[in-house]
Amino acid sequence: MFKLNKMRIIIFTDTFLPQINGVVTYILETSKILADRGHKILIFAPQSKDSGKINLNIPNIEVVTSPSVEFPSYKEYKIALPSVMKHFKIAQKFHPDIFHVQSPFSLGLTGLYIAKRMAKPVVATYHTLLPDFIKYYLPVPILLKGNFLNDFTWRLSNYFYNRCDLVLTPSGVMRDMLIKHDIRAPVQVLSNGIDLGVFKPESQDARVLIKDRFGLGKITLVHSGRMSYEKNIQVLIKAFALIKKNIREDVKFLMIGDGPALGDLKKMAEDLKVNQNMIFTGYMSRKFLLAFLKSSDIFVTASTMETQGIVVLEAMATRMAVIGADKMALPELIKDGINGYLFKPGSEKMLAERMFKLIKSDKLRAKMAANSFDLVKTHSISLTIAKLEKIYSDLIKKHKKLK
């Protein structure tokens, strides 16, 4: 066991509250626990018109926001306009031991520049498969032709991540992909982690109360996350439409989340005549999200760009059978036939078959739910934090020896 010194950690992120996504969840969860363990955290993040000055009211955590403008095609995303010299002076005053950058955009680049200028070690986390991500956020026909956007995004990634001391990514498939695309900095797998204590199951009485009060079914399928086009949620709706005539009226499909595709998805559900069995909640606070997850039975996702899938970890932690596309990192979490099923990406028919199989068998759902919880234990946030502290400490020591 290594001796742990209290560290001063600067985080640069291009996405933060009030937006909620996997990256924000990861930053909040890890920062809170690190702060609780006595480390000092300074977070540089974009400011939105809804957030103003962000104050988490958590000891040992301070947030500095930069003015930002809305992303033209996705207004919920912000492009920060940081003042490099202002941030540099704030960073100097903080006396950091290490920098952790969470993205290669304006604030991430600012963080990398300041870290290098201050001669401090810098860790980067590769959260999102950028070539797939960018094509949804820059839907300009000329940019989508050929491999221009893909090549540009990997060149940006190489420029950014190869200047870091260490690159973290939450899955083995992403580690292999980064190495394949010429990321020469050391790449290490580190799960985003999940606080298992938060996901203790609701009592049977509470489950029944929630189901009755909000019109959920005896069996409830659930999808949670951003209602955005890249998540392929239309595949879920089409698959549900294929089996609707063969399921009872008390089987419901709960769609939790908000986003730019929400209106189109609701319209699709109406057109396919599944809107009576499909509940779109819109934005839901964390407290209610947890309660609804704990009252659901089967989690389903059709996303094909998950570098890990925090929402899948959350579903597993709530003891649910899980179904997901056989793509990217999802097969590392969803073990086909053990804690759920995989299906061919984009195949509504195959997904419908998997959903129907779980809907009709209480015994199978219960077995897979128990297996989900056993498998998710290796992703406990306590394990992630212990590894992250060791990573920080080792890099700080190594950097000091090289001076």
Other CB atoms closer than 10 Å to residue 336's CB: what's the count?
14
pLDDT of residue 1: 44
Tokens of 40: 């000092």
Please give the helix or strand (H or E) that residue 160 lies within, else none: helix 148-161
Domains of the chain plus CATH, in order, are 8-193+380-402 (3.40.50.2000), 196-378 (3.40.50.2000)
- The three-class DSSP label of residue 229 is helix
pLDDT of residue 150: 83
Instruction: Output the CA–CA distances (angstroms, integers) from residue 182 to 70, 174, 308, in the order listed.
Output: 32, 13, 21
pLDDT of residue 148: 76
pLDDT of residue 64: 95
How far is 389 from 40, CA to CA, in rounded Å?
13
How far is 393 from 142, CA to CA, in rounded Å?
46
Count Cβ neighbours within 10 Å for each residue of 43-62 and write b for 16 or more, e otherwise: bbbbbbeebeebeeeeebbb
Categorise residue 305: left if φ over 0, alpha if ψ from -120 to 50, beta otherwise: alpha
Residue pair 13/32 in contact (Cβ under 8 Å)? The answer is no
Other CB atoms closer than 10 Å to residue 329's CB: what's the count?
22
- The three-class DSSP label of residue 44 is strand
Residue pair 333/358 in contact (Cβ under 8 Å)? The answer is no
Residue pair 279/292 in contact (Cβ under 8 Å)? The answer is no
Q: Which residue has the tokens 């939790």?
A: 256
The number of helix segments (H) and strand segments (E) in the chain equals: 16, 15
Query: How far is C-alpha 230 from the geometric centre of its chain's CA atoms?
Result: 13
Q: What is the pLDDT along the chain (403 residues), one digit of tens a residue?
A: 445 789 999 999 999 988 878 899 999 999 999 999 999 999 999 987 655 567 788 999 999 999 988 766 566 677 899 999 999 999 999 999 999 999 999 999 999 999 999 999 999 999 998 887 776 655 544 455 557 788 888 999 999 999 999 999 999 999 999 999 999 999 999 999 999 989 887 778 788 888 888 888 889 999 999 899 889 999 999 999 999 989 988 899 999 999 889 999 999 999 999 999 999 999 888 888 999 999 999 999 999 999 999 999 999 999 999 999 999 999 999 999 999 999 999 999 999 999 999 999 999 999 999 999 999 999 999 999 999 999 999 999 999 888 6
CA angle 181, 182, 183 (to 5 degrees): 100
How far is 281 from 289, CA to CA, in rounded Å?
10
The end-to-end CA distance of the chain, in Å, is 26
How far is 15 from 33, CA to CA, in rounded Å?
20
Tokens of 77: 């995303």
Residue pair 94/86 in contact (Cβ under 8 Å)? The answer is no
Tokens of 288: 């209610």
Output the CA torsion sign for 18, 74, 233, 338. Answer: negative
Point out which residues pair with 26 in neighbouring strands.
none
Instruction: Give the closest residue to 244 by CA, choosing from 217, 222, 273, 215.
Output: 273
How far is 393 from 370, CA to CA, in rounded Å?
36
Q: Quick one: angle between helices 310-317 and 22-36, nearest 10?
A: 70
